[in-house]
Structure 1
């Protein structure tokens, strides 16, 4: 048997207050209390009220494709700079869209020179009307150069750069050429002493890049794994296999309330 509590008349507002407090606590998302959780944002979040109190922020440099600029880049970089920085990640990092469109793209290289720089190409000479690994490497190098130099990023060497690898963008059916493209991007960022990582899901990565050989510079890059729907699932994904055999999962992503949240695994 339960006994209904009796409150003197002057305290009969207490049950209603207690119920209101319970409802308020239930409404606070779990993410708000997590010091190892950040957010990633880009052009789809332009004009939206962004999350507050994030541990770290990862900002998209492009507008969905590798040859575009996020129109809200400056605003979102400022937002990321307000991160608390309490997780094992830099307060601000960047991610870039990647692709390998071949000669179907709006621009495709025809030599090993870009922006006045003669680039060392481990796949040989890129020549006109070639969509193989050599020109794919140069395409990736050029897009990374553009991301660092013409999108509005100050001091690009100060950031970690994540390569966003998704089937929604245009890719060659040649996985070696796709890997060469990503290697070219990583090579440019390495040339300015910036750190690079790989973002994808295991399925998308397999379709685009396949198995990365140990000789590839991609082999030891860290992985940011997408695909989770809850924080608990994202935490479990920290134990998943990295995208490459020599890499480590350092960040996992999940979606909540219309925003991307990111859990630091380190």
Structure 2
């Protein structure tokens, strides 16, 4: 996300100035930022209302090596935007089931809403793959980093965004392939819901349609919030707040564009 071509920024709306507190952003902006492994070793923006941190290192099977430091930074955001949690996170997503034999993390078993996973490139195993990748990201990457950073380590205290974009590995070429991709995102959502976490989806309309296709109203994805990428100017990011959400019954709550090489985010609430 933070290294993709869709990176974005937000319009900083004037706010009442506040006395700066060491280590905590001053409440003079409504801008939010998202960062991840590409920003390791860089000086992160000082003033921000909220921040979204990538848990993964580009792939769902890898950890962001700077997650601990970036979580600390996120929690030091000002919280100026009431409807946006000051510290949010996102997970990379993918479905490499068509690469069986090359993917060591593909599940071999598991009971799912689509039946029993038998280790094949099936909808059931795609769902199980999503569940396991979310579970591993929470238990092996996020929780240890949050505890080391001495910030809240409960998944239920964060907004979790699922980053769905074509730069990751997805299946294609048929309606069944889209259904398997969709099942993976559903599996990730189901695991996060099992931890009482709030979940949303990040993408552009075009890439979402290419990867996931349509979403039925009885899917667990229906009603999730949308974070829209793809804007190239601040005005476009603001206008994108009025676009259709990625899933039925959802709302667009964040809009993103890039400025000065930083991903910035405008709250649509």
Tell me how far 1:105 sits from its aligned partner. Answer: 2.2
Give 1:53 deviation, angstroms: 1.2
Q: TM-score, normalised by structure 1?
A: 0.83
Which residue pairs with 2:19 in the alignment? none
Q: Distance in 2 between matches of 1:152 and 1:181?
A: 20
2:137 aligned to 134, 144, 147, which one?
A: 147
- Quote the residue 1:70 is aligned against: 64
Tell me, in whole angstroms, the C-alpha distance in 2 between the residues paired with 1:57 and 1:228.
18
> Is the aligned partner of 1:31 residue 2:29?
no
Runs of 4+ in structure 1 over 4 Å off: none
- CA shift, 1:32, in A, is 7.8
- Matched position secondary structure for 1:228: coil
Are the counterparts in 2 of residues 121 and 137 from structure 1 also a CA contact under 8 Å?
yes
Deviations 1:131-160 (A, max 9, x none): 111000000000010111000422222211
Which structure has more relative contact order (CA 8 Å, sep 6+)? It is: 2
Q: Which residue of 2 aligns with 1:208?
A: 211
In the alignment of these two chains, the number of paired residues is: 230
Q: For each residue in 1:5-24, what CA deviation from the matched residue of structure 2 results, as whole angstroms up to 9, or x when unmatched? A: xxxxxxxxxxxxxxxxxxxx
Structure 1 residue 231, shift from structure 2 partner: 2.0
Unaligned runs of 5+ in 1: 1-28, 113-119
- TM-score w.r.t. the length of structure 2 is 0.82
Computing the radius of gyration from Cα coordinates, the structure with the larger value is: 1
Per the TM alignment, residue 33 of structure 1 is displaced from its structure 2 partner at its CA by 4.4
2:85 corresponds in structure 1 to 90
- What is the alpha-carbon distance in structure 2 between the residues aligned to residue 259 and residue 69 of structure 1? 21
Gaps of 5+ in 2: 1-9, 16-28, 144-152
Q: 1:179 matched to which residue of 2?
A: 182
Match of 2:162 in 1: 163
* Match for residue 137 of structure 1 among 106, 110, 127: 127
Q: Secondary structure at the match of 1:229?
A: coil
